[in-house]
Amino acid sequence: MPTRHRLCSVNDVPLGQGRECVVGDRIVAVFNVDGRFYALDGICPHAGGPLAKGELHGCVVTCPWHGWQFEVSSGQHQLNPRIRQTAFPLVIENGDVFVDLP
């Protein structure tokens, strides 16, 4: 049963950027794409890089460590169709960002 967690305020994630949020023992990367918010597992599946600290161009984030790229709404790797980073459903309520985690 998923549990809802508050990650941050929408004002904490500037347009075109990501923010790293810690929820228990997880790191969740929240991205603001033109005012739409998305959340991915924040740990890159390649070698553990911090996805929230990567460059965001449109809907694609580039891991700052070795450049793997993911579509932030789906988690789909941009070159390898077999790699999909976990994407979490987000809810915005009263200016706060919440995520439902399993």
Q: What residues make contact with ligand FES under the rule CB under 6 A? A: 44, 46-49, 63, 65-68
Q: Give least dist CB 64 to ligand FES, A.
A: 7
Name the helix (H) or strand (E) containing 94. none
Q: Which amino acid is at 11?
A: N
In the complex with ligand FES, which residue's Cβ is closer, 8 or 64?
64
In the complex with ligand FES, which residue's Cβ is closer, 65 or 98?
65
Q: Which of 83, 82, 96, 5 is nearest to 51 (CA)?
A: 83
Q: Identify the burial level of 30 via C-beta atoms within 10 angstroms of its C-beta, where 0-12 means exposed, 13-18 middle and 19 or more buried.
A: buried
Q: Give least dist CB 38 to ligand FES, A.
A: 18
In the complex with ligand FES, which residue's Cβ is closer, 8 or 83?
83
